[in-house]
Copies of this chain bind each other. A is one copy, B any other.
Amino acid sequence: MSEPTATMLQSHPDPLADIEPDLRARALDLLMHCATVCTSCADACLAEENVAELRRCARLDLDCADVCRTAATILARQSRTDPSLLRAVIEACIVACRSCGEECRAHAGMHRHCRVCAEVCEQCAEACDAVLRDLATPVGGT
């Protein structure tokens, strides 16, 4: 199912790629999944009997979903990117994924949705980190 993303990125008219295409496609897929999984985790937290103890988890889920959705949208654009803007958005996304992932990790033993969400947040933060490191590497450089 992740093929459309990769195919799409390759069909763009601009030849110059500021980010390695595989890293971009992987980050895009994880950002989309993280947005959906965090949205679902917030909804599940709200449905739990112990909702009063999951307020912070729901809050961070919602924030993380919003930031991931926007990061995916901006990363999907390949043309005339402002590198400092892309970097700031990806950095905010890493902060959101780490905060949300840590909070969900703390409830992972009790709620399976928190465990799944923690895993996806952690993978998403790593994929964003890889994009960030690639952005910092001068084109053609080592």
Contacts and interface: CB of A to CB of B under 8 A. Distances in A.
Contacts of A82: 60, 63, 95, 99
B67 A69 contact: no
A72 B113 contact: no
A85 B95 contact: yes
A12 B95 contact: no
B13 A44 contact: yes
Interface string A1-35: 11011011101111000000000000011001101
A1 B33 contact: yes
A67 B89 contact: yes
Interface of A: 1-2, 4-5, 7-9, 11-14, 28-29, 32-33, 35-37, 39-41, 43-44, 46-49, 51-52, 55-56, 58-60, 62-63, 65-67, 69-70, 72-74, 76-82, 84-85, 88-89, 91-92, 95-96, 99, 111-113, 115-117, 119-120
B89 A43 contact: no
10 contacts: A1-B29, A4-B120, A11-B111, A35-B73, A59-B80, A59-B81, A69-B69, A69-B70, A85-B96, A88-B95
Q: Is the contact region of chain A dominated by helix, strand, or loop, or is it mixed? A: helix
Contacts of A92: 85, 88-89, 91-92
